[in-house]
């Protein structure tokens, strides 16, 4: 786990070891954790309404997330009837290469990455559906773009580091503090997807 602490006292990152990976490699758990990080504390019933699942299902998966340290009870909000949950960390760190190349974790790593990609796709579709309702300064805000590049592994790593550095210059979202007037939550999705030479050759007829 990272030793970095956010301005609100929460650890910034939780490291996915094989044990935690097994606990998180489920589409609904990835979705629930993302909603708590984006929208702030919520109950199982509230999250059921947002995900279309039953409150029994969200309650079960929230308890599993709590058991492995991804979320915790928000005791400042919880009462006799409602149990509120909040994210314990700002983000999750996942070493794709190490997990995918390990025979014991490769299947779980693949399931986790599928859940992440599914969540990214759902977010992009949600943005598209909202486009007709955007007005004023937000009308032309946001983009879905891609570029075809010819890079070496070193150049790809450098590009990733440079893009991450640019993104880090901008204010991170925190659902527990009031957002400045005129701001809204923005999802910056970074995908750098190499098509490996040996696979390209194998696909050539």
Question: In this structure, what CATH number is given to the domain that contains residue 199?
Answer: 1.10.10.10
Predicted TM-score (pTM) of the model is 0.76
Distances (CA, A) of 192 to 34, 43, 96, 130, 164: 21, 35, 13, 26, 12
Nearest residue to 172 via CA among 182, 162, 186: 186
pLDDT tens per residue across all 205 residues of the chain = 233 434 444 568 899 888 999 899 899 999 999 999 999 999 999 999 999 999 999 999 999 999 999 999 998 887 767 899 999 998 898 888 888 888 888 998 998 999 899 889 988 888 888 877 777 788 778 888 999 999 999 999 999 999 999 999 999 888 888 889 889 889 899 999 888 776 555 555 5
- Within a domain: residue 173? yes
In a domain, 4, yes or no: no
- Which of 177, 176, 167, 130 shows the shortest CA–CA distance to 36? 176
Structure tokens at 149: 């590049």
Domain that holds residue 109: 13-127+147-203
Residue 134 lies in a domain: no
């Amino acid at each position: 786990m990272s030793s970095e602490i956010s301005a609100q006292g929460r650890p910034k990152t939780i490291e996915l070891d094989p044990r935690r990976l097994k606990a998180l490699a489920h589409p609904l758990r990835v979705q629930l954790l993302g909603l708590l990080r984006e929208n702030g504390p919520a109950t199982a019933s509230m999250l059921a309404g947002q995900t279309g699942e039953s409150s029994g299902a969200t309650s079960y998966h929230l308890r599993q997330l709590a058991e492995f340290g991804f979320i915790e009870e928000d005791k400042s909000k919880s009462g006799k009837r409602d149990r509120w949950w909040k994210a314990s960390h700002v983000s999750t760190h996942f070493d794709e290469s190490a997990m995918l190349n390990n025979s014991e974790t490769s299947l779980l790593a693949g399931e986790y990455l599928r859940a992440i990609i599914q969540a990214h796709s759902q977010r992009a579709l949600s943005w598209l559906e909202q486009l007709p309702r955007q007005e004023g300064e937000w009308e032309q805000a946001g983009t879905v773009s891609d570029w075809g590049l010819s890079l070496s592994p070193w150049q790809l790593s450098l590009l990733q580091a440079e893009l991450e550095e640019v993104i880090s210059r901008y204010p991170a979202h925190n659902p527990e503090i009031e957002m400045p007037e005129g701001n809204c939550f923005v999802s910056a999705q970074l995908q750098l997807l190499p098509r490996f030479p040996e696979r390209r050759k194998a696909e050539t007829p």
